[in-house]
Structure formats: structure tokens, C-alpha cells
């Protein structure tokens, strides 16, 4: 099968298309025929060597955490999925391995693909959508009627975070640039702050969800309601690592989330998508062979929504 492979750390050019053996489904796993994958900034951070302490320095490395496709094989002990099922997942493999024609993943991270989303649209969801869901729900503890500030609302994570916060019944203020104002409004934001022209932190919020890491944590914390939380996707001094189910949340705390994917959480997103309450904003589509261009585009950090890789779709 074709797969994108990195043989060293470096620029986009270190990713090459290789011919590799197809994976087999071990006990507890399924093999998915990949119709689409997507690019997340963590992919190029791993490729550059920025994340070597977490993802290792052994080569070749196989990137790509998102997959939407069709179950091709089922390992022993997997009862809930069968060959032919349309599914999507945030891979639990180290570095992901989804930039390929086939990928084997644990069945416990695989959920039914939303009927109303194409494989391209579904492949955009898992990593970014779960990041938004877990940050707002488990760390932010966002409640109906509360106020959420979403910084970076036009990006891969932000486009889902705006919709999810709205689905949770919050009043959503989105921070974006003028060129993305209408996009963010169309996702359901109630109020918009243009970060180039306006003060971002002017009011009080129950959750400040910062996908950009543009705020100093202590300053953001001063703009929280007493039980609020500052949740950032970029670690910085003064921000605590939050592990769902382990960390005890402190009122007014500042957190970076360490989460693991589950089918149960992905099914929450499937449910919203099936109800028409969650959609994917697709910035651009690339073929697997154009993976170098796809990474270079993601590295501009100007994507509007998600960059998707078409593999079989
Ligand atoms: N910890 C985790 O689990 C986790 C998970 C997912 C992502 N992340 C991290 O979160 C970050 C964001 O990921 P992503 O996929 O959303 O990235 P992305 O799609 O590349 O984000 C690009 C967007 O950010 C916006 N942006 C840039 N600077 C901004 C600013 N100062 N204020 C508001 N918006 C701004 C851009 O809009 P304009 O062009 O209009 O500025 C663009 O639409 C990355 O660093 C990623 O590695 C962490």
C-alpha cells in the first residue's frame, strides 16, 4: 500500500510516499481502508522534531491521526464493528499512521461515520473536534447559559469549538480576523472580536478557550468568572496539565489538556453531526501524493477550518 513516511526530522520534503505492507488486524483492532485523512499542526510539529520527547526519534515515522473510511478487517474480540462499516477515528497509534491507504487502530477509538458527512468532511473531525469537546466539556465544565470566549475561532479546532460551545447552550464570543468574520458568524458565534483591531480580553467569561496560545495565562485568568477556566492548546508557564478523570479542577484555573481518544466521545460528535448541529469547514483538499504541499500550507497557520487529504475518496 501507499503511505507517507518520514525518514528524518525536517521540512515537508522529508515526507516521501513509500510502498509498505498492508497492516493486519490484531486482537482488539480493526483495519480501516482510508478514504480521507486530515492534517493537524501536531503532525508537522512531530515531523520537525519538536515533539521528540513524546513521539520518539525512531525512523521511519508515520504521521496522521485522523481517518475516515471503511472497515476492511476485524481482529479477535471486536464485536461492535464489522467489515464494510463506514467509520471514522482519531488513531491511537504513536504519531497516528493514517497518511496511508490502510491503517490498523484499536476498535475502542472507532465510531460510526456521521451519515450526513462525506469521508472528506468526516476525516476533518476527530482530532480537532475531540480536542474542542474535551476542553470545553471536561476542563471548562461549560454549562447552558454561560459565556465562552473562543480564541482562534476560524482554525481547525476553533471552527468545531464555536459549534460545540453553542450546542452546549453557551453564549459564544469568537476571536478572529476580519477576513474570517462571516465564516465564524455562520458557525453560530453570537459576538465577534477582531483581534487585530479590538481588545481581546475586555469582559468576563466562564470559559476562555485559546487555540492560539495568544494570551498570557495570568491575564486571561483575571477575565474569568469565579468558577471559570482558561483552557489553552499551547503550554506556557503557569498552565497546569489536565488529565480528564484524574486532575481535580480548581476554580479559575489555567489548563493544557492531555486527553486520549474514545469512541464514546466521538459518538457525541457523530450525534451532533447527524442532527445537523456540527459541520466541517474544509480549507483545502490535497491528494496523499501532495502531502508535502499540505503540510507547508498548514505551517502557514492561516488555514480556515481543516486541511484534508483525499486518499480513496
Ligand atoms: N493540546 C492538544 O490536544 C491540541 C489539539 C489540537 C491542536 N492543538 C494545537 O492548537 C493549535 C491550533 O490548532 P488548529 O488545528 O486549530 O490550528 P490551525 O487550523 O492551523 O489554526 C489556524 C487559524 O488560527 C487563526 N489565528 C492565528 N493567529 C490568531 C490570533 N492571534 N487570534 C485569533 N486567531 C488566530 C488563523 O486565523 P487568521 O488567519 O484569521 O488569523 C487561522 O484560521 C496548534 O498549535 C495545535 O498544535 C493542540
Shared-domain flag, residues 201 and 113: no
SS (H, E, C) 226-277: EEEEEEECCCCCCCEEECCCCCCCCCCEEEEECCCCCHHHHHHHHHHHHCCC
Q: Is the CB of 247 under 6 A from ligand 1?
A: no
Which atom number of ligand 1 is nearest to the Cα of residue 298?
20
With contact defined as beta carbons under 8 Å apart, do 224 and 208 qualify?
yes
Shared-domain flag, residues 97 and 142: no
Please indicate, yes or no, if residue 268 is contained in any of the structural domains: no
Rounded distance from Cα 82 to ligand 1 centre (Å): 36
Return d(Cα 247, Cα 244) in angstroms, integer: 6
Q: What is the pLDDT of residue 313?
A: 75
Shared-domain flag, residues 85 and 178: no
Query: What is the distance of C-alpha 26 from the center of its chain?
Result: 26
Rounded distance from Cα 27 to ligand 1 centre (Å): 36
Please indicate, yes or no, if residue 269 is contained in any of the structural domains: no
Angstrom distances, CA of residue 176 to CA of 125, 181, 189: 20, 7, 11
Rounded distance from Cα 229 to ligand 1 centre (Å): 19
Q: What is the pLDDT of residue 188?
A: 98
Shared-domain flag, residues 20 and 93: yes
Burial of 162 (0-12, 13-18, 19+ CB in 10 A): buried
Identify the three-state secondary structure at position 81: coil
Q: Residue 305 is part of a domain; what is its CATH number?
A: 3.90.180.10
Which atom number of ligand 1 is nearest to the Cα of residue 300?
20
**DSSP secondary structure letter of residue 21:** P
Burial of 213 (0-12, 13-18, 19+ CB in 10 A): middle
Task: Supply the residue whose CA is at minimum distance from atom 12 of ligand 1.
Answer: 211
Shared-domain flag, residues 167 and 242: yes
Rounded distance from Cα 270 to ligand 1 centre (Å): 23
Count CB atoms within 10 A of the CB of residue 2.
16
Return d(Cα 167, Cα 105) in angstroms, integer: 29
Closest to 141 measured CA to CA, from 163, 168, 112, 161: 168
Please indicate, yes or no, if residue 271 is contained in any of the structural domains: no
Shared-domain flag, residues 81 and 133: no
Q: Is the CB of 227 under 6 A from ligand 1?
A: no
Shared-domain flag, residues 48 and 81: yes
Return d(Cα 81, Cα 155) in angstroms, integer: 32
Shared-domain flag, residues 31 and 118: yes
Q: List the pLDDT tens digit at each of the 313 positions of the chain.
A: 999 999 999 999 999 999 999 999 999 999 999 999 999 999 999 999 999 999 999 999 999 999 999 999 999 999 999 999 999 999 999 999 999 999 999 999 999 999 999 999 999 999 999 999 999 999 999 999 999 999 999 999 999 999 999 999 999 999 999 999 999 999 999 999 999 999 999 999 999 999 999 999 999 999 999 999 999 999 999 999 999 999 999 999 999 999 999 999 999 999 999 999 999 999 999 999 999 999 999 999 999 999 999 999 7
**Between β-strands 86-90 and 110-112, what pairing exists: parallel, antiparallel or unpaired?**
antiparallel
Identify the three-state secondary structure at position 175: strand
Shared-domain flag, residues 115 and 141: no
With contact defined as beta carbons under 8 Å apart, do 150 and 176 qualify?
no
Please indicate, yes or no, if residue 273 is contained in any of the structural domains: no
Count of the separate structural domains present in the chain: 2
Please indicate, yes or no, if residue 183 is contained in any of the structural domains: yes
Shared-domain flag, residues 112 and 32: yes
Q: Residue 155 is part of a domain; what is its CATH number?
A: 3.40.50.720
Domain that holds residue 15: 2-125+280-310
Which atom number of ligand 1 is nearest to the Cα of residue 40?
15
Please indicate, yes or no, if residue 142 is contained in any of the structural domains: yes
Rounded distance from Cα 31 to ligand 1 centre (Å): 31
Q: Is the CB of 261 under 6 A from ligand 1?
A: no
Shared-domain flag, residues 133 and 118: no
Q: What is the pLDDT of residue 178?
A: 97
Task: Supply the residue whose CA is at minimum distance from atom 32 of ligand 1.
Answer: 152
With contact defined as beta carbons under 8 Å apart, do 15 and 48 qualify?
no
Shared-domain flag, residues 237 and 284: no
Please indicate, yes or no, if residue 172 is contained in any of the structural domains: yes
Q: In 51-125, which ranges are continuous DSSP H helix?
A: 52-55, 119-123
Please indicate, yes or no, if residue 162 is contained in any of the structural domains: yes
Amino acid at each position: 500500500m501507499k503511505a507517507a513516511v518520514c525518514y528524518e526530522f525536517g521540512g515537508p520534503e522529508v515526507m516521501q510516499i513509500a510502498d509498505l505492507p498492508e497492516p493486519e488486524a490484531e486482537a482488539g483492532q480493526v483495519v480501516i481502508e482510508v478514504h480521507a485523512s486530515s492534517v493537524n499542526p501536531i503532525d508537522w510539529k512531530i515531523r520537525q522534531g519538536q515533539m521528540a520527547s513524546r513521539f520518539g526519534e525512531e525512523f521511519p515515522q508515520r504521521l496522521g491521526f485522523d481517518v475516515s473510511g471503511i472497515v476492511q478487517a476485524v481482529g479477535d474480540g471486536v464485536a461492535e464493528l464489522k467489515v464494510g462499516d463506514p467509520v471514522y477515528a482519531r488513531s491511537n497509534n504513536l504519531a497516528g499512521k493514517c497518511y496511508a491507504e490502510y491503517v490498523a487502530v484499536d476498535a475502542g477509538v472507532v465510531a460510526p461515520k456521521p451519515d450526513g458527512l462525506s469521508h472528506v468532511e468526516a476525516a476533518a473531525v476527530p482530532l480537532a473536534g475531540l480536542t474542542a469537546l474535551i476542553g470545553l466539556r471536561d476542563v471548562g465544565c461549560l454549562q447552558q447559559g454561560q459565556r465562552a470566549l473562543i480564541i482562534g475561532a476560524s482554525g481547525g479546532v476553533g471552527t468545531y469549538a464555536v459549534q460545540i460551545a453553542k450546542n452546549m447552550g453557551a453564549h459564544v464570543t469568537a476571536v478572529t480576523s476580519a477576513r474570517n468574520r462571516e465564516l465564524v458568524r455562520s458557525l453560530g458565534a453570537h459576538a465577534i472580536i477582531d483581534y487585530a483591531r479590538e481588545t481581546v480580553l475586555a469582559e468576563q467569561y466562564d470559559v476562555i478557550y485559546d487555540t492560539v496560545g495568544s494570551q498570557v495565562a495570568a491575564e486571561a485568568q483575571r477575565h474569568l468568572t469565579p468558577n471559570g477556566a482558561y483552557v489553552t492548546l499551547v503550554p506556557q508557564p503557569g498552565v497546569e496539565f489536565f488529565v480528564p478523570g484524574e486532575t481535580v479542577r480548581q476554580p479559575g484555573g489555567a489548563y493544557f489538556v492531555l486527553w486520549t481518544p474514545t469512541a464514546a466521545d466521538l459518538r457525541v460528535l457523530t450525534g451532533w453531526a447527524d442532527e445537523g448541529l456540527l459541520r466541517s469547514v474544509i480549507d483545502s483538499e490535497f491528494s496523499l501524493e501532495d502531502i508535502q504541499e499540505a503540510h507547508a500550507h498548514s505551517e502557514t497557520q492561516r488555514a480556515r477550518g481543516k486541511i484534508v487529504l483525499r486518499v480513496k475518496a
